[in-house]
Amino acid sequence: MDTRLLRTFATVARTGNLTAAAERLHLVQSTVTAHVQALEKELDLRLFDRLPRGVVLTGAGRDVLAQAEAVLEAEARLRTVAASAGGAGGRVTGRVVLAAGETLVSARLPGVVAALRRSHPGIEVDLHTMGTAPAVAALRTGELDLALLLEDEAAFPDIECPPLAREPLVLVCSPRHPAATRDAADPVAGWADLAREDYFLHEQGCSYSDRFVERLLAAAGGTPLRITRFGSLEAARSCVAAGLGLSLLARANVADALAAGRLAQVPGPRFPDVTVRLARHRRRWVSPAAAALAAELPHHFPH
């Protein structure tokens, strides 16, 4: 049996949508449909009910999915054993697919990948930028080996996500912004003062930005907030550096700008660090390459 059919089937099952599965697999939708139909023909089973808004597993499809995921995991183990036996000289080799939000992809993971290349040159890291929800979904389909989540609370029955580190956050503005040089008689901004400022924050779904907005709302007392959300951290940083407002960002994302004087820290209430969690599927095998990457990660976060 062609395991490509099983991989396509598992992805469609987890996404519930042929178009979404095609995007994740980097295939055209007609190929995804052909793979599903070929597997149904080979097994002589209807695996999905086709509905106007997507596809839903049949009872037989749910049974097949569990076995298909077991076969895909066994294939991954076999490939690792074959790679090790093919002249690696006992070195850890293989490919690891890792996802994280933009905060960590831009600030932490380049150093992780560089260090891993020096210590384990046979490991290839495939890095993706994803928020919590898509990363958890991709762990379930087997598209990811590991994911880093920026979440203080995270509980999933099938995803293990213990805390790995704490990421410091900092409220920043332009050095020319009034918030950077408050009156000497009142040098520290309170939450009520902060609620009156303009903000440029990371997109909705970013855990620390969402909690910050909740705290501002509580302090605003019904006054509308002036907040712009961006899908790009660089866009938020650029607006703040131009003096247009404030932003709450990971200190690692703005350390160079703070040191160079392009940004300044706003004197005010300290916002708690956000928890970094290392997520993996509870039932899936962790390859030696993924284990080596997991062991390297803690060295690149503050203790």
Same-domain check for residues 80 and 12: yes
Residue 292 to residues 40, 91, 95, 161, 166, Cα–Cα distance (Å)? 38, 11, 11, 17, 21
Task: State what percent of residues in the chain have pLDDT above 90.
Answer: 59
Which contiguous run of DSSP H or E holds residue 84?
A: helix 59-85
- Per-residue model confidence (pLDDT) at position 142: 81
Say if residues 163 and 299 touch (Cβ distance below 8 Å): no
Same-domain check for residues 256 and 297: no
> Angle at Cα 104 formed by Cα 99 and Cα 107, nearest 5°?
135
Give residue-wise pLDDT tens across range 237-280.
Answer: 999 999 999 999 999 999 999 999 999 999 888 888 999 999 99
Question: What is the pLDDT averaged over residues 160-178?
Answer: 94
Distance of CA 96 to the CA centre of its chain: 15
Q: Residue 116: which domain range?
A: 91-166+273-303
Query: For the whole model, what pTM was predicted?
Result: 0.74
Average pLDDT of the chain to the nearest whole number: 89
Same-domain check for residues 161 and 282: yes
Same-domain check for residues 157 and 279: yes
Question: What is the pLDDT averaged over residues 171-186?
Answer: 80
- Per-residue model confidence (pLDDT) at position 84: 58
Question: What is the pLDDT averaged over residues 272-294?
Answer: 92
Rounded-to-integer distance, Cα 22 and Cα 31, Å: 8
Question: What is the pLDDT averaged over residues 276-292?
Answer: 91
- Per-residue model confidence (pLDDT) at position 303: 73
Same-domain check for residues 32 and 83: yes
Give residue-wise pLDDT tens across range 7-20.
Answer: 999 989 988 889 98
DSSP of 212-275 = HHHHHHHHHTTPPPEEEEES-HHHHHHHHHTTS-BEEEEHHHHHHHHHHTSSEEPPSPPPPPEE
Same-domain check for residues 66 and 14: yes
Give residue-wise pLDDT tens across range 101-136.
Answer: 999 999 999 999 999 999 999 899 999 999 999 999
Q: Pick from 56, 128, 58: which is nearest to 96 by CA?
A: 128
Give residue-wise pLDDT tens across range 29-68.
Answer: 999 999 999 999 999 999 999 888 889 999 999 999 988 8
Distant-in-sequence contacts of 65-71, Cβ < 8 A, 24+ apart: 65/9, 65/10, 65/13, 68/6, 68/9, 68/10, 69/10, 69/142, 69/284, 71/1, 71/3, 71/6
- All residues at 6 or more sequence positions from 243 whose CB lies less than 8 Å from its CB, including other chains: 173, 174, 176, 177
Range with the poorest average pLDDT among 85-94, 113-122, 143-152: 85-94
Same-domain check for residues 261 and 178: yes
- In this structure, what token pair is assigned to residue 290? 């993924």
Assess whether pLDDT exceeds 60 at residue 187. Answer: no
- Per-residue model confidence (pLDDT) at position 205: 85
The CATH number assigned to the domain holding 30 equals 1.10.10.10
The CATH number assigned to the domain holding 262 equals 3.40.190.10
- Per-residue model confidence (pLDDT) at position 190: 86
Same-domain check for residues 284 and 162: yes
Same-domain check for residues 181 and 268: yes
Same-domain check for residues 278 and 239: no
Say if residues 55 and 12 touch (Cβ distance below 8 Å): yes
Structural domain ending residue among the three candidates 48, 66, 89 = 89
Say if residues 149 and 277 touch (Cβ distance below 8 Å): yes
Confidence band, pLDDT 50/70/90 cuts, at residue 182: low
Same-domain check for residues 258 and 289: no
Domain count, the chain: 3
- All residues at 6 or more sequence positions from 20 whose CB lies less than 8 Å from its CB, including other chains: none
Same-domain check for residues 160 and 220: no
Give residue-wise pLDDT tens across range 215-235.
Answer: 999 988 888 999 999 988 999
